């Protein structure tokens, strides 16, 4: 591979630079979770969340094929997305723990299909799974929003590998 646009030419360097370029797009911080019919729950922090349609209300998010939580999402009929508020920054360490301890001590409630919902999240979207499509090294989950709620607080933001605050100019 040759260098282009001043970027390193090695495959690993190119992937790292690509990831850094994507990091220039600010996102919110979301936690997506699901529960299987057998009661097994899993969840993970994501920034690959977006709205797809207003009518019907639909959202999507992406899950890496190598994710340890993938079997839970594959067996679950629904999922919940909790958009974290700035006041919930202290939960980030808990939500990044190993999968078997990730939800311990985190204030949650059961959402649609028993999917864990983080209490006092800035917004919550409870969804049935409409489709799952493989795209490269990820699966794209498209969900039909069955219930949503929001709070008037400041959502937590993520940009260039750092968490911060959203400031809206008047």
In the block, tokens 């340890």 appear at 68
Domain 27-158 listed as CATH 3.30.1490.100: no
Answer whether residue 24 shows pLDDT above 90: no
Q: Are 17 and 24 in contact (CB under 8 A)?
A: no
Answer whether residue 2 shows pLDDT above 70: no
Q: Give 9-52 as a DSSP string.
A: -SHHHHHHHHHHHHTTS-EE-EEEEEE-TTS-EEEEEES-EEEE
Per-residue pLDDT, averaged over 16-27, amounts to 86
Confidence of residue 1 (pLDDT cuts 50, 70, 90): very low
Q: How many CB atoms lie within 10 A of CB 15?
A: 11
- Which of 20-24, 66-70, 134-138, 155-159 is predicted least confidently? 20-24
Q: Answer with the residue of higher pLDDT: 9 or 26.
A: 26
* pLDDT in the model for residue 26: 84
Tokens of 76: 């679950």
Residue-wise pLDDT tens digits, 51-82: 999 999 999 999 999 999 999 999 999 999 99
Give the residue extent of every domain in the chain.
27-158
Per-residue pLDDT, averaged over 77-106, amounts to 94
Tokens of 145: 């929003």
Tokens of 114: 């028993």
């Amino acid at each position: 591979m040759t260098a282009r646009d001043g970027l390193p030419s090695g495959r690993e360097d190119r992937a790292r630079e690509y990831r850094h370029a994507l990091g220039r797009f600010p996102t919110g911080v979301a936690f997506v979770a699901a529960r299987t019919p057998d009661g097994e729950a899993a969840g993970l922090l994501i920034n690959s969340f977006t709205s797809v349609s207003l009518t019907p209300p639909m959202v999507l998010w992406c899950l890496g094929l190598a994710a340890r939580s993938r079997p839970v999402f594959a067996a679950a009929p629904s999922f919940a997305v909790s958009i974290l508020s700035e006041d919930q920054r202290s939960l980030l360490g808990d939500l990044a723990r190993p999968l078997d301890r990730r939800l311990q001590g985190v204030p949650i409630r059961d959402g649609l299909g028993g999917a864990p919902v983080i209490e006092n999240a800035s917004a919550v979207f409870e969804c049935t799974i409409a489709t799952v499509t493989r795209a490269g090294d990820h699966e794209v989950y498209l969900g039909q929003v069955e219930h949503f709620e929001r709070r008037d607080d400041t959502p937590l933001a993520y940009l260039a590998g750092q968490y911060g605050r959203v400031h809206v100019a008047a």
